[in-house]
Amino acid sequence: MTLESLKHCFTCKKKLGEKVNIYMYKSLAFCGVKCRKKEIDKDEEEDKKQHVKILGEATVLHHQS
């Protein structure tokens, strides 16, 4: 992660100047809460998928025993 990545919004790629507020999430830069939320939502979706996968595997194991 370099400072270069903090010059543009991670979501909409808008240029982030020195005078605008930069919103941080997991060392990524965003131009606003809406853009940051998109990344947070994406993470939460991934989390849900992981849970489903783990539960699915547990179910398979249960049926085998």
Q: Is 31 in the site for Zn ion (CB under 5 A)?
A: yes
Q: Is 11 in the site for Zn ion (CB under 5 A)?
A: yes
Q: In the chain, where does DSSP find H-type helix?
A: 33-64
Q: Which residues pair with 28 in a beta bridge?
A: 25
Q: Is 23 in the site for Zn ion (CB under 5 A)?
A: no
Instruction: Provide the minimum distance between the beta carbon of 59 and Zn ion in the complex, in angstroms, as a whole number.
Output: 40
Instruction: Report the distance separating Cα 26 and Cα 28, nearest Å.
Output: 5
Contact in structure between 35 and 9 (CB atoms under 8 Å): yes
Whichever of 14 and 37 has its CB closer to Zn ion, that residue is 14
Query: Which residues of the chain form contacts with Zn ion (CB under 5 A)?
Result: 9, 11-12, 14, 31, 35
